[in-house]
């Protein structure tokens, strides 16, 4: 496979699998991308079958509340949502769609689990998914008015006499125009005033209470409204959100974040400007922006510029090793969740409203590296989780058997990393296999009872996964 196709596969998915690579080769790079941008055309039978083990993620807000009425709020549904999110990342065929769901969930962060959204967070996820590849303006309105966002950013407590500035401020700083837009404290206050009246009712659903809405002229960054009646306050808020979604600073902010996700930690200014222009020209539609990004020269030249975060590393490991879910039940999936919690990157779990950072420096630490390496060996050796199906490491060994240890390491590297091992890697792994009775070098013949394809095969596999090649998006 050519380098540009491989770059697209690594950036537009959670990691290659043999089946995915074969599919890309069969369709061609552009046709595969076109298909990923139309996820409704992709059958996702396997992932959907696994997701049936997590039925509560489909519960409505009223269903969640009725089932947990006596417990006054349970985290069960939110935790199930986190595990279902992992299932989709690992086993869904709609890989680019799932990446973009993660992107928007991070951009419009509502921490999961957290007490204020115990009843609404699963429904919020469905809203994100509905608009993921649509128009950002529609997504912003739906997410901003949703009871989960209203509760998470305290707008439910906002009144005309005491506007709560939390959502009004985060809407400007994080969700749309960004600090560089130069908004003032008066802008923040007016932003909060516009959102008064929005909130939740006694059933946990979104509502608008005119009696709480602040009435009077408002102006924020070029948006203005007489805001003359309490009854019309919701319409003013929707108009305001649509205005912010189409603001040129919002276009730049989203373009920058998409470059951070898919291109590099230092977004190219020319690409940011082009993506922002495409976003505005297409009335906030996301698919044309992604097409421009993946077709750009900046993307083509960005190999080696993005590092996988811990969650992505774990998911990519499971995918490349061909690990399948538990034959029945969810114990193994639950244990994967505990594993990524220990690594500090459980999906949806980030506490502040700004979402997980997406630059390499935020994730660099000896402890973090060790945790990744330990996860590689635990999974490869099937030490933990034990109830998942696979991996079948013997199936990774080519037939006929490679003649030397160096040839074996090369073959495994091509299968796991899509590139041959370096001489340094070959020597290092052979040194690891060496003991007081056996000196192993890359040229040492590989026989049927060699440690490398026996008791130490899991170590060989995990050492390859510990390499920089696996750490890169």
- At 143-160, the pLDDT tens digits run 999 999 999 999 999 999
List 200's β-bridge partners, or say none: 206
pLDDT at 257: 98
pLDDT at 322: 98
pLDDT at 221: 98
Q: What percent of the chain has pLDDT over 70?
A: 100
Mean pLDDT of 294-323: 98
pLDDT at 69: 85
CA 16 and chain centroid, separation? 16
61 — pLDDT class (breaks 50, 70, 90): very high
pLDDT at residue 1 tops 90: no
pLDDT at 208: 98
384 — pLDDT class (breaks 50, 70, 90): very high
Question: Tokens 């083509």 label which residue?
Answer: 300
CB-hemisphere CA count at 13 Å for 342?
A: 14
Buried b / exposed e over 161-183, threshold 16 CB at 10 Å, is eebbbbbbbbbbbbbbbbeebeb
Three-state secondary structure call for residue 274: helix
In order of 33, 174, 468, the CA distances from 260 in angstroms are: 19, 15, 19
Mean pLDDT of 393-422: 97
What would the two tokens of residue 389 be?
């199906």
What would the two tokens of residue 299 be?
């993307």
Residue-wise DSSP of 102-130: HHHHHHT---SS-GGGTTTHHHHHHHHHH
Q: How many residues does the chain have?
A: 473
pLDDT at 285: 98
User: Burial, 432: exposed, middle or buried (Cβ in 10 Å; 0-12, 13-18, 19+)?
Assistant: middle
pLDDT at residue 180 tops 80: yes
* Residue range 66-88, pLDDT digits in tens: 999 877 789 999 999 999 999 99
What would the two tokens of residue 346 be?
């459980």
User: Burial, 401: exposed, middle or buried (Cβ in 10 Å; 0-12, 13-18, 19+)?
Assistant: middle
| CB-based contact 197:145 (threshold 8 Å) | no
pLDDT at residue 429 tops 80: yes
273 — pLDDT class (breaks 50, 70, 90): very high
pLDDT at 77: 97
| CB-based contact 110:117 (threshold 8 Å) | yes
pLDDT at residue 231 tops 90: yes
pLDDT at 94: 98
Mean pLDDT of 28-50: 97
Question: Tokens 């034959």 label which residue?
Answer: 327
Average predicted confidence (pLDDT) for the chain:
97
Q: Is the peptide bond before 113 cis (omega within 30 degrees of 0)?
A: yes
pLDDT at 73: 81
Q: How far is 45 from 173, CA to CA, in rounded Å? A: 40
pLDDT at residue 312 tops 80: yes
What would the two tokens of residue 468 be?
């920089």
List 198's β-bridge partners, or say none: 208
Ranges 85-99, 136-150, 431-445: which has the least confidence: 431-445
pLDDT at 42: 98
CB-hemisphere CA count at 13 Å for 103?
A: 26
């Amino acid at each position: 496979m050519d380098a540009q196709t491989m770059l697209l596969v690594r950036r537009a998915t959670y990691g290659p699998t043999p089946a995915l690579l074969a599919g890309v080769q069969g369709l061609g790079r552009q046709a595969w991308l076109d298909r990923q941008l139309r996820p409704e055309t992709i059958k996702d039978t396997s992932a959907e079958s696994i997701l049936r083990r997590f039925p509560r993620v489909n519960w409505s807000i009223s269903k969640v509340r009725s089932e947990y009425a006596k417990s006054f709020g349970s985290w069960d549904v939110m935790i199930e949502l986190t595990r279902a999110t992992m299932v989709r990342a690992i086993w869904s065929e709609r890989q680019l769609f799932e990446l973009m769901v993660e992107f928007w969930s991070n951009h419009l962060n509502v921490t999961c689990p957290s007490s204020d959204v115990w009843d609404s967070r699963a429904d919020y996820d469905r809203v994100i998914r509905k608009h993921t590849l649509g128009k950002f303006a529609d997504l912003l309105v739906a997410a901003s008015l949703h009871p989960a966002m209203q509760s998470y950013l305290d707008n439910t407590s906002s009144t005309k006499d005491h506007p709560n500035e939390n959502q009004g401020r985060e809407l400007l700083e994080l969700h749309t125009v960004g600090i560089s837009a130069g908004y003032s404290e008066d802008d923040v206050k007016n932003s909060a005033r516009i959102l008064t009246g929005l909130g939740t009712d006694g059933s946990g659903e979104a509502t608008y209470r005119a009696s709480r809405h602040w009435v009077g002229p408002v102006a924020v960054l070029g948006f203005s409204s007489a805001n003359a009646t309490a009854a019309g306050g919701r319409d003013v808020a929707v108009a305001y959100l649509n205005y912010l979604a189409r603001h040129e600073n919002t276009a730049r902010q989203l373009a920058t974040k998409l470059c951070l996700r898919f291109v590099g930690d230092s977004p190219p200014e020319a690409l940011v400007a082009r993506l922002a222009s495409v976003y505005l020209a297409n009335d906030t539609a996301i698919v044309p922006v992604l097409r421009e990004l993946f077709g750009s020269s900046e993307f083509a030249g960005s190999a080696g510029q993005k590092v996988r975060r811990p969650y992505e590393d774990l998911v990519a490991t499971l995918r490349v090793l061909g690990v399948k879910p538990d034959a029945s039940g969810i114990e193994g999936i639950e244990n994967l969740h505990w594993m990524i919690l220990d690594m500090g990157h459980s999906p949806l779990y980030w506490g502040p409203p700004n979402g997980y950072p997406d630059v390499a420096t935020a994730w660099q630490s000896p402890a973090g590296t060790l945790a990744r390496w330990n996860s590689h060996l635990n999974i490869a050796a099937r030490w933990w989780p034990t109830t998942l199906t696979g991996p079948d490491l013997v199936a990774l060994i080519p037939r006929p058997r490679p003649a030397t240890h160096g040839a074996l390491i090369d073959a495994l590297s091509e299968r796991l990393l899509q590139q041959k091992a370096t001489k340094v890697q070959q020597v290092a792994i052979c040194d690891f296999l060496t003991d007081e009775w056996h000196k192993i070098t890359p040229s040492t013949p590989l026989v049927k009872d060699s440690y490398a394809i026996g008791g130490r095969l899991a170590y060989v596999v995990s050492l390859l996964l510990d390499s920089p090649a696996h750490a890169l998006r």
